[in-house]
Structures are given as structure tokens and as C-alpha cells.
Amino acid sequence: MTTEPRLLVSIATYNEAGNLERLIGEIHKFAPGADVLVVDDNSPDGTGKIADGLAAADPRIRVIHRPGKLGLGTATLTAMRYAIEHDYDLLQNMDADFSHPPRYLPGILAGMDKHDVMIGSRYVAGGATENWPLKRRILSQGVNFLVRFLLRMPVKDASGAYRCYRVSKLRETRLDLVRSRGYSFQQEILFRCHKAGARLGEYPILFENRRSGSSKVNGKEAVRSISMIILLGVRNFLGFERPTRALVTS
């Protein structure tokens, strides 16, 4: 008899009161056995209290409260360390705003049979973005080209957060080396997994506009993140970033 892998779905939240309950309901529609971890950055709109109420009613839901807006990168690292410490097999990360539709979860999870990281990808055949302005499409494609050139990763979409990670591979990944805290985090963590020998795969998704709330995108942070990617890429190009694995302790 085959045992289902223990799956943790992580959601980083800041002012997502209008989305959270419906999102978790849809996650459990497509992955009923999943535990859901909400990492809330002290949302002023009460998202953390909503999460606590949902957790009190459903043992599959866990909540971590952080003291302030510490960013998506550190929230994802918190979820990764939680998954490692609690012996999950798979960690599925997704945004809280419905831009990552839960209906794609079965396809992404199925890809984990042959991969260590599965990306919900906008840029493989069958993937797309919905109602994006030309400027945003050009910027996104440009960043991904830069990542492929400098970081030498065989993926089309290195910047999306809709991903599943094999937790045993995260144990081998040098999470302590991750410098990025903003939007470059997605590229860097994928790069660190790649350096640890992770097999990368992509599954096509339609990236949808958020259903409620406001975007957290900030132009200054975007520039800072692109600078970080270039720095990491140059280091890799010059051979300073070598294949490396963390010490795995039993």
C-alpha cells in the first residue's frame, strides 16, 4: 500500500482578510489531505485573527504570527524551516491573492514523482498570464532571460512563487546562504536548490489577477531585486557559486 506524502501548503499573508478563508477552502478541495500553514505579518486588517479562527475549527490549519511586515522571502524561509522541523515530505508554496489558482495543485504535485522542485509556470507551453500590461510582460520575460543566462538554470519561469519543494532536498540546500529578502528571493532559492542537485520541473498555469486586496509590488524593491540577481549571476558566472549541499543531520 502506497502512503500519501505529507504535504504542507504555505501561504504568506499581509492584509488578505478578503481572500484567506475562500483560498484555504479551495486548497482543501484539490488537496484534501494537505496541512496549511499561514505565515502572517501582523496584518492590520485582521488576517491573523481570521487565520486563528480557521485553525481552531480545522486541525489541518496552522498559523505563525510575525511581529511586522518582514517580507515574502523571510516568510517562505520560515515555512521551509517549519516543513523541515516537522518532517513533511512536500512543501507547496502559493500566494494568498488567488493569482495562483488551487486547481493546478494536482498537476504540480503529480510532477513531484520525477522532480524535486515543480514550478507553476507561466512560460511553458500551455501557460499564460491574464490581463498583464505589455510593460510588465517585458520586464518579467527579461528577468527570466537574465536568470537563465547568468544562473544557468534550465527553466522558463524562475520568478513565480507557485512551487512545490521536496523537503528532503531542502534539507540539503544551503538556506543559510540566501541573501535575498525581496522579489529576487524566488530566483535565488531556486538557484540554491539547483546547486544542491534538485531536479527542476515546470507545469503550465494561467497566472490570474488578484481577486481582492491590493498588490504589494514596489518599483524601488523591483530595482533592488534585479541588482541582487545580477550580483548573484556574476558570482556564478565567475565560478564563485559552486555546487554545495548543507550538512544533513539525523
pLDDT of residue 239: 75
For residues 52-80, give the mean pLDDT.
96
Three cell numbers written together for 133: 500590461
Q: Which of 153, 155, 116, 123 is nearest to 138 (CA)?
A: 123
Alpha-carbon distance 137 to 104, whole Å? 22
pTM, rounded to two decimals = 0.91
pLDDT tens digits for 204-246?
999 986 555 455 555 676 677 788 888 888 887 777 777 766 6
Q: Per residue in 154-193, pLDDT tens?
A: 999 999 999 999 999 999 999 999 988 778 899 999 999 9
Provide mean pLDDT across the span 2-15: 93
What superfamily would CATH give domain 7-237?
A: Spore Coat Polysaccharide Biosynthesis Protein SpsA; Chain A (3.90.550.10)
Helix axes 219-237, 134-151, angle to 10 degrees: 20
Backbone angles phi, psi at 36, to 5 degrees: -120, 125
Q: Answer yes or no: are the C-beta atoms of 35 and 4 closer than 8 Å.
A: no
Helix (H) or strand (E) holding 120: strand 117-121
